[in-house]
Amino acid sequence: MNESHELPSAIFVDDEPAVLSALRRMLRLSHRDWQMHFFTDPQQALEALERLQPWIVFSDRRMPGLSGLEFLERVATQAPETIRVLLTGDMSLDSALRGTSVAHFILRKPFELDTLADVFVRARVLHQLPLAPELRRALGVLDALPVRPAVYMEITRELQREDAEVGVIGRLISQDQVLLSRVLRVVNSPFFGFSSSAKDAETAVTRLGLQMIQHLVLIIELYQCAEPAYKTLGEELMQAAVVLAERVRVLCDQKQLEGSARNRCILAALLHNIGRLVLYRLDPSGAAVMAEQVPLAGAYLLELWGFEPELVEAVLHQADTESDPELGLTSLMLQAALQG
């Protein structure tokens, strides 16, 4: 018999009881509205999945018998709609790339309560997205989603350092000449409004800022699509995104928007159709892809990857025919650009 699921629930799996005890103490006061379940045996956790129906499953990476990667692979098969989190002390690029094949989030040990709290918040947002059950299950199979590209992940690792350097990020971008040329082409596009052209990656990073360039690299690498099956579609989607970004730029000029607000609006335009790329991977024929699913799939992906709420909201509500006055500026600007 299934347990009550009125409250959101989470499963933690670690072969060390002391770690689970520490997690229990850390969360019992701050997350009283969650049901927490703790297992030292991953096999027992798998057997409890159907009964507990967790929103999130946290797993240590190194466990005897069944590793965290193997455990989360089985979770993906048994309960694909569940958010999967890998806890690890190994944050090498190779380990991170392998982790992204089975985990939605990778948390580096030791971690703070705020780090865990952010995952709980994102899980709640993802759970509340009005996805059809079959689409939620399909999106939960991470292999069907675009994998976070290597250069983007290296930039992310650099940005996690307190002394992140513009020069290092510039060199990472410059290692891939195709990526570099596309970054410069986008940075030098009229919608960013710079009076002179950026000639190198470091100048581009300095002009746009570290977070904006990180997002831009992700977008370009996703649309670039190394797989031949998706390359043509990726190029078409990128071109459409750039055209819409130019339209947003005109609107920003009319509204006299500058700085971070302007960049968020442009970024939303560049991301607005990423859901099509996701859905195409789930159904290359395109036969089952409906227009209303594109914003949902895009918002799901962006929430998973940690984009700020205003951008997720803009992508989610882009197709709304009537503007909700409570929506943020980015959402309203994206709607206006699409309807213009």
170/29 Cα distance (integer angstroms): 43
82/57 Cα distance (integer angstroms): 7
Q: What is the pTM of this model?
A: 0.76
CB contact set of 253 (below 8 Å; sequence gap of 6+)? none
What is the structure's pLDDT at 35?
Answer: 93
Q: How far is CA 301 from the centre of its chain?
A: 5
What is the structure's pLDDT at 103?
Answer: 82
Looking from the CA of 153 toward its CB, the CA atoms found within 13 Å total 16
25/284 Cα distance (integer angstroms): 46
Each residue's pLDDT tens digit, 23-39: 998 888 888 889 999 99
234/229 Cα distance (integer angstroms): 10
What CATH number was assigned to the domain covering residues 150-339? 1.10.3210.10
Which residues in 226-257 are b (16+ Cβ under 10 Å) and which e? eeeebeebbeebbeebbebbebbbebbeeeeb
The one-digit pLDDT tens for each residue of the chain (340 residues) are 344 456 899 999 999 999 999 899 888 888 888 999 999 999 999 999 999 999 999 999 888 888 888 999 899 889 988 999 988 876 554 555 565 667 888 787 777 888 889 899 989 988 888 888 888 887 776 454 454 567 777 888 888 788 889 999 999 889 888 788 888 888 887 777 787 889 999 999 998 888 888 888 878 877 776 566 667 888 888 889 888 988 998 999 898 988 888 888 988 998 899 888 878 777 766 655 677 788 998 898 888 877 888 999 999 999 886 656 677 889 989 998 998 7
59/119 Cα distance (integer angstroms): 13
> Dihedral (C-alpha) 189, 304, 296, 192: value to the nearest 10 degrees?
-10
Tokens of 297: 């799939």
55/27 Cα distance (integer angstroms): 16
* Superfamily for the 9-128 domain: Response regulator (3.40.50.2300)
Q: How far is CA 236 from the centre of its chain?
A: 22
Domain chopping of the chain, boundaries: 9-128, 150-339
126/82 Cα distance (integer angstroms): 10
**C-alpha pair distances (Å), 308 with each of 39, 58, 138, 315:** 32, 23, 24, 11
**C-alpha pair distances (Å), 235 with each of 249, 279, 302, 333:** 21, 16, 20, 24
